[in-house]
Amino acid sequence: MFFLLLLCFMVCLVFLHDYFTRKRGYRWEKLSEFPGDTPLPIFGNGLQLGFDADESAHKLLAMWEKHGKQNIRLSLGSEDWILLTDPDDIGTILNHSTEISKPLERNMAMKPFFGNSVSTSEGERWRSTRKLMAPCFNFNTLEAKIDDVNKYCDRLFEVFDTYDENSHVELYRYLRPFMYDILCTSLMGVETNLLADPDHPYLKASGKVIKIVTYNYFSYWRNIRFLFTMSSQYTEMMDTIKTIKQNSTNIISARRKILNSIIEKTRNNNKNIDIDLEEIIESKLNNGGCLLDKLIFSKSSNGESTSDDIINEEITLLCFTGHYTTTATISHTLYCLAKYPEIQNRVLEEQRSIFNKNMHKKPTTQELNQMKYLEAVIKESIRVIPTVTKIGRQLQNDLRFKDGRVAPAGSSVLVFYEAAYKNPTVFPEPEKFNPDRFLDSMHTFAFVPFSAGPRNCIGFRFAWVAMKATISNILKRYEVSLGDAGTEPQFVSRLVTESKNGIHLKLKKRTY
C-alpha cells in the first residue's frame, strides 16, 4: 500500500511540474491573451464541462457569455482550444492555405467510423480524393440532381398523405431515408427504397453515430482505451460501425454489378469494332458520371486500382453526412416555419410569385435560384439551430489574427457556430427569428455553415439544391403546424444539433 501511495504521489508531482512549467512557457503566454477560466493541473477545464457530452455545449456557451461574448480559450487535459466567434478571425483560419489539419480530438472520434476519408485525411490522399469528387458537385450536374429530388418527393408525399391533418408526422423518420435514397441515386448510381423501410438496420445504426461520436469527443474517459473496450458503449460503437460499413460494401457491390453489365453489353454491341472501353468509360465519367463510378475506376499514383477498403471509407462518410445533416436542416427549417406561420405565409407567397397558378409544378434550377426568401429562411433556421455546431483546425504553426493576437502552434482553433450565430455585434437581436437579416449584406465569414476555403464542404451545392427543392415541394403541398403539447423538440448540441425526441409536425394538405 505504501509503495502504491508513493507511486501516486510521484505521478502527481510529475503532472504538477509539467503544469507549472507549461504555465511559464511560450504557448501559455500566447493562449493567455485570450480570455478564459484558469485551467486545473491534469484536467484543464474538463471538470467544468462535466461528463455529460450533451450538456457540454451549454457550458461552453455559458463560458463564452461569461467572458464577454468574444473569442475564448480553454484547456482539456493537455489539449488547448481557442473558440472563435469573431468573423474576421473565422476568415483567418478558414481561408488559410496550409493550416488545414482537423483537430486531433475530432479525428480520434471520427476515424473509427469513417477511417482516413476526405473528412479526416491530409496530404496526397486528401488532395487526390477531393479533386476526384469535385466534378460530381459542379453546376453542370445540378439539374439532374434536382430531378432526383423531385422524383423522390412524390414518393415522400405518398407516405405523408397517409396521415390526416390532426396526426403528428415525425420528420426525421421519413426525411432521413428520403434523403438517403436521393443520395444513393444521384451519387452512387444505385436505386434504393429505404423510405419504404424506415426501420432498416442502416437507418437505426446511423441514427446512433452522432451521439457516439460526440461522446467519444467529450467523454474523456473513453480515451483510456483499456477501460473503454470493456464497456457496453464500446460494444455498441463496434456494432454500429460494422452495420454502416457493411451497408457501404453492399452499395459498392451493387454498383459494380451494374457497371460490369454495362461493360459487357458495350463489348457485345461492338464486337466487330475496334473500341477502347477504358476511353468510353473515362468519357462517361468526365461527362457527369456518378461519384461512386469515379472512385471505382480511380487509380493511385503508381497505377493501381483504388482498393475497396479506401472506397468504403469514402462511401461510408458520404452516405452518412450527405443524408444526416441535410435531413436535420430541412426538418429544423420546417419546424421554424410551423412555429412562425407568418413567415411560412411569406414563403408561400414567394412560391406563388414564381410558379404563378401552377403550384403543383416541380422546381428547376432557374426557379430555385429565384427563391431568395426561402433561402433566407433556411439560413436563419441554421443560425438559430446550427446544424453543425463546431468545426476546427489543428495548428501546425503559430497563427496571427487581425488584432495581433497569436494562436500558438499545437493548439486547436475551433469555429464555435453556436456562439458565433448569437454574437449580437454581428446578428442584432440574435434571439429573434428574422430571415430578413439574410437579405442584407453581411461579413463574408459571419455565416459559413458549409465552412469555407480549401476545406469547405465539397457537396454544399448539392445540399442547397436538395434543401430548397424539398422544402418548396412540401410547402406547396402542405401547410405545416406544430404538434400538440408534449411533442416540442428536445434539441441537444452534439457535433450535429438534433432533437432527442424527433421533430413532430402536423401536415394539412393545401387546396388550390
For residue 258, give the nearest of 230, 290, 286, 280 by alpha carbon.
Answer: 290
CB count, 10 Å around CB of 219?
A: 18
pLDDT (mean) for 369-382? 98
97: left (phi over 0), alpha (psi -120 to 50) or beta: alpha
Element holding 168 (H helix, E strand): strand 168-170
**Which has the minimum average pLDDT: 276-280, 312-316, 435-439?**
276-280
User: β-strand 406-407 against 399-400: which pairing, if any?
Assistant: antiparallel
Supply 47's cell numbers. 471538470
Supply 259's cell numbers. 457497371
pLDDT of residue 479: 98
User: Is the four-CA dihedral 375, 331, 385, 187 of positive or negative sign?
Assistant: negative
Which of 143 and 476 is assigned the larger pLDDT? 476
Contact in structure between 27 and 80 (CB atoms under 8 Å): yes
Read off the pLDDT band of 50 (50, 70, 90): confident
Could you give the dihedral angle defined by the CA atoms of residues 441, 444, 448 and 454, in that order, rounded to the nearest 10 degrees? 150
pLDDT of residue 263: 78
pLDDT digits (tens, 9 = 90+) for 130-177: 999 998 998 888 888 999 999 999 999 999 999 999 999 999 999 999
Strands of the sheet containing 478-482, edge to edge, are: 168-170, 504-509, 478-482
For residue 472, give the nearest of 400, 365, 384, 324 by alpha carbon.
Answer: 365
Please tell me what DSSP assigns to residue 425: T
Q: At what angle do helices 372-384 and 460-477 cross, to 10 degrees?
A: 110
Residues paired with 74 in a beta bridge: 81
For residue 374, give the nearest of 306, 476, 300, 275 by alpha carbon.
Answer: 476
Supply 59's cell numbers. 457550458
**Residue carrying the nine cell digits 441554421:** 382
Return d(Cα 258, Cα 249) in angstroms, integer. Answer: 14
14 pLDDT above the threshold of 50: no
For residue 71, give the nearest of 23, 32, 100, 24 by alpha carbon.
Answer: 32
pLDDT (mean) for 3-28? 55
pLDDT digits (tens, 9 = 90+) for 405-414: 999 999 999 9
Report how far apart, in Å, the C-alpha atoms of 379 and of each of 169, 183, 468 are: 23, 22, 11
pLDDT of residue 127: 93
15 pLDDT above the threshold of 80: no
pLDDT of residue 327: 98
**Exposure letters 46-64 (e unless 16+ CB within 10 A, then b):** bebbeeebbebbeebbebb
Report how far apart, in Å, the C-alpha atoms of 460 and of each of 136, 153, 277, 451, 467 are: 12, 20, 33, 9, 10
**Which has the minimum average pLDDT: 49-58, 110-119, 281-290, 485-494?**
281-290
Read off the pLDDT band of 25 (50, 70, 90): confident
For residue 84, give the nearest of 309, 403, 397, 385 by alpha carbon.
Answer: 403
Question: What are the extents of the domains in the chain?
Answer: 113-385+431-509
18 pLDDT above the threshold of 60: no
Supply 252's cell numbers. 459498392
282 pLDDT above the threshold of 70: no
pLDDT (mean) for 424-446? 96
User: β-strand 497-499 against 491-493: which pairing, if any?
Assistant: antiparallel
78 pLDDT above the threshold of 50: yes
CB count, 10 Å around CB of 33?
A: 16
**Which has the minimum average pLDDT: 193-202, 216-225, 431-440, 496-505?**
216-225
Read off the pLDDT band of 279 (50, 70, 90): low
Return d(Cα 144, Cα 187) in angstroms, integer. Answer: 11
pLDDT digits (tens, 9 = 90+) for 180-227: 999 999 999 999 999 999 999 999 999 999 999 999 888 777 777 888
Contact in structure between 4 and 41 (CB atoms under 8 Å): no
Return d(Cα 424, Cα 426) in angstroms, integer. Answer: 5
For residue 327, give the nearest of 209, 444, 219 by alpha carbon.
Answer: 209
For residue 105, give the nearest of 242, 213, 209 by alpha carbon.
Answer: 213
| Amino acid, res. 427 | F
pLDDT of residue 226: 84
487 pLDDT above the threshold of 90: yes
Read off the pLDDT band of 5 (50, 70, 90): low
Question: Which residue positions form the known binding site?
Answer: 457
- Percentage of the chain beyond pLDDT 70 is 91
Element holding 478 (H helix, E strand): strand 478-482
**Which has the minimum average pLDDT: 203-212, 258-267, 308-317, 475-484?**
258-267
Return d(Cα 386, Cα 416) in angstroms, integer. Answer: 10
Q: What is the DSSP string of 67-94?
A: TTSS-EEEEETTEEEEEE--HHHHHHHH
Return d(Cα 20, Cα 41) in angstroms, integer. Answer: 8
Mean confidence (pLDDT) of the chain? 91
Rg, Å, the chain Cα set:
25
pLDDT digits (tens, 9 = 90+) for 84-96: 999 999 999 999 9
431 pLDDT above the threshold of 80: yes
pLDDT (mean) for 33-55? 90
3-class DSSP state of 328: helix
Return d(Cα 467, Cα 331) in angstroms, integer. Answer: 10
Read off the pLDDT band of 24 (50, 70, 90): low
Which of 24 and 80 is assigned the larger pLDDT? 80
pLDDT digits (tens, 9 = 90+) for 240-262: 999 999 999 999 999 999 888 88
Question: Which residue positions form the known binding site for heme?
Answer: 457
**Which has the minimum average pLDDT: 50-64, 418-432, 437-451?**
50-64
pLDDT of residue 406: 97
- For 499, phi then psi, to 5°, come to -95, 130
Question: In the CATH scheme, what is the code of domain 113-385+431-509?
Answer: 1.10.630.10
- Percentage of the chain beyond pLDDT 90 is 77
pLDDT (mean) for 379-383? 98
pLDDT digits (tens, 9 = 90+) for 330-370: 999 999 999 999 999 999 999 999 999 899 999 999 999 99
Supply 178's cell numbers. 428520403
7 pLDDT above the threshold of 60: no
Residue 163: is it exposed, middle or buried by C-beta count within 10 angstroms (0-12/13-18/19+)? Answer: middle
